[in-house]
A and B are shown apart, each in its own frame.
Chain A
Amino acid sequence: MRLRAVGVSFSYGSISALQGASFELAEGEILGVLGPNGSGKTTLLRCINHNLRSQKGTVFLDALDIAEMDQRAVARSFAVVPQDSTLEFPFAVSEIVQMGRYPHEATTEEWDLTIVHGAMGDAGILHLARRSFFELSGGERQRVIIARALAQQPEVLLLDEPTLHLDPRAQIEILECVVTAARTRGILVVLVSHDVNLAIRYCSRFLLMKGGRIQSAGTLEQVITAENLSEVFGIRAVVSRPGEMPFRTVTFLPDSGVR
Chain B
Amino acid sequence: MSYGGVSSLQEFRRNVAKRELLRSVLLVVLAVCLAAAMVGATLVGPSRVHVRQLVRLLQSPVTGTDIPAQDRRIIVQVRIPRVLMAVCVGCALAASGTAMQAMFRNPLASPQVLGVSSGAAFGAALAILLGLRIVSQLSATVFSAFCFALVPAGVVYALAGHPRMTSRASLILLGVALSAFFSGLVSFVLYLADERLQSVVFWLMGGLWHSDWTRLGFAAPFVATGVILLFLFTDEMDILAFGDRSARDLGVPVERVKKILLVGAALATAAAVSVAGVIGFVGLVVPHIGRILIGANHRYLLPFSCLAGGLLLLGVDVLCRSLIQPLEIPAGIVTALFGAPFFAALLLTKGARTGWAQ
Contacts and interface: CB of A to CB of B under 8 A. Distances in A.
Interface stretch (B126-134, B211-219, B238-246): B238-246
B291 A94 contact: no
B194 interface: no
B15 A130 contact: yes
Interface stretch (B5-13, B260-268, B275-283, B326-334): B5-13
Interface in A125-153: 125-127, 129-130, 132, 134-135, 152
Interface stretch (B53-61, B68-76, B153-161, B350-358): B350-358
A136 to B, nearest CB: 11
Best-buried of A71, A88, A89, A103 by chain B (most CB within 10 Å): A89
B4 interface: yes
Q: Which of A73, A78, A82 gathers the greatest number of chain B CB atoms within 10 Å?
A: A82
B11 to A, nearest CB: 9
A79 interface: yes
A121 B15 CA distance: 15
Contacts, number: 110
25 contacts: A49-B249, A71-B248, A74-B251, A75-B249, A75-B251, A85-B242, A86-B243, A88-B242, A89-B102, A89-B241, A90-B291, A90-B296, A94-B15, A95-B295, A99-B238, A100-B250, A113-B12, A121-B1, A126-B3, A127-B5, A130-B6, A130-B15, A130-B19, A132-B358, A134-B354
Interface residues of B, number: 39
A92 B295 contact: yes
A134 B356 CA distance: 9
A99 B250 contact: yes
A205 interface: no
Interface string B285-314: 000000100011100000000000000000
A76 B250 CA distance: 8
Chain B binding site: helix, strand, loop or mixed by DSSP? loop
A247 interface: no
Given A113-B12, A126-B3, A129-B6, 20 more contacts: A49-B249, A71-B251, A75-B249, A78-B249, A89-B102, A89-B241, A90-B355, A91-B295, A94-B12, A94-B15, A99-B239, A102-B252, A103-B250, A114-B9, A116-B12, A124-B3, A127-B3, A129-B12, A134-B358, A135-B358
